[in-house]
Amino acid sequence: MKGSDYPATIHIQGSNLSHLEVKVEKLIGTRFLVKVTCKKGKDVLVSILEAFEDMKLIVVQARVTSRYFFGMEAIVEAENEATLDVRALTRALQMAIHKQSFENLK
């Protein structure tokens, strides 16, 4: 396993994101397990799905909850053997959620 394939977790606390956790783990082949937990917000799921689309990822399976907080666990697969790694995917998701959260403040 390459260094970039190790699970990566980013925790952010601050202004309008009272809690954000993004965890990505490399699975077999071009598949990744993605877990996101954050404060409920408008269009969080849309932002995540758009990030997946931008990275050419296909959602194989997903579970989402938004009762008390937003939570998502998904298995995604890269369309090709690109250089996408755990850290790049984690960072892209974190940025998409963060951007969406700030847009809702406008």
| pLDDT tens-digit map of 32-43 | 999 999 988 778
- Please write the tens of the pLDDT for every residue from 4-48: 455 555 444 444 445 789 999 999 989 999 999 998 877 889 999
CA–CA distance, 6 with 15 (Å, rounded to integer) = 29
Whether 15 is in a domain gets the answer: no
- Please write the tens of the pLDDT for every residue from 71-94: 999 999 998 776 788 999 999 999
Whether 9 is in a domain gets the answer: no
Contact 16, 105 (CB under 8 A): yes
Q: Residue 80: which CATH number?
A: 3.30.70.260
Q: Which domain holds residue 90?
A: 20-104
CA–CA distance, 55 with 101 (Å, rounded to integer) = 20
Model pTM? Answer: 0.77
Whether 6 is in a domain gets the answer: no
CA dihedral sign, ordered 24, 74, 83, 38: negative
Whether 63 is in a domain gets the answer: yes
> Structurally, how many domains does the chain consist of?
1
Read off the amino acid at residue 62: A
